[in-house]
Amino acid sequence: MSIESYTNFIQCRENSDKLLTKIDEVLNQSILAPCDILPLRSDKKDEHLLDKHFGIDCIVIKYKETIKEFRMTIQNKTIGYDWWSNKRYWKNNYPNFCQETINAHNTSFERPGEWTYLTSQLIFLGYKNITGDNFDRWVLLNTLSYKLKIDLNGGLEKFGKFYSGSTNGKSAYHVLSLGDFQDCIVDSSDRHTGKQQLTFL
């Protein structure tokens, strides 16, 4: 599968207003509830400094009653239904997600991708429903556990296939299986719905 086809299915850095509202709703069902989301964009075009250089999409403000108890940083990854619901792309009965590794691949502007500078405390993986306006499932990963596990066990190459853009200038990714990171999960939709833990259909 070409990287172009792949990125049509997976919108790794999508940050639309509609889905941010849904992410807000989801997080208020999670262990972070009650909370508010502070998105890090000045408008729809400008990329926030924390997003561009640190992979942080939003700040979650956690409340205890009416008092702001603490804040945490999150990166949002939303996975398209056509991709995650197709078991052809699963590994060990778990759906995949992508980790960007190179920006502007095979150009003079090539630079390290999100993997290098990702410093958010949590990663939100939202598996979209068939209409794309909500999530069928969601997972919160501990970023430190996730990155250290990969680093201490041979790097991204040991965990997933590398997809290089067939067209120069595209980002390049490693495709990873959620099944390899069960020990990095902080919370998930399954824990709140009574479904069998993360079997995904």
Q: Of all residues in the chain, what percent are helix, strand and coil, respectively (each to 5)?
A: 30, 35, 35
Where in the chain are the domains?
A: 3-193
Q: Residues 34, 28: contact at Cβ < 8 Å?
A: yes
Residues 108-137 have pLDDT tens digits of: 888 888 999 999 999 999 999 998 889 999
How many Cβ atoms sit within 10 Å of the Cβ of residue 29?
14
For the chain, percent of residues with pLDDT exceeding 90: 41
**Residue 93 to residue 109: CA distance in whole angstroms:** 38
Q: Which residues pair with 55 in a beta bridge?
A: none
**Residue 94 to residue 87: CA distance in whole angstroms:** 8
The pLDDT score that the predictor gives to residue 67 is 76
The pLDDT score that the predictor gives to residue 52 is 74
The stretches in the chain having pLDDT less than 70 are 1-17, 41-47, 165-169, 192-201
- Its pTM stands at 0.82
The pLDDT score that the predictor gives to residue 20 is 78
DSSP secondary structure of 41-60: -SSSSPPPHHHHHH---EEE
Q: What is the CA radius of gyration of the chain?
A: 16
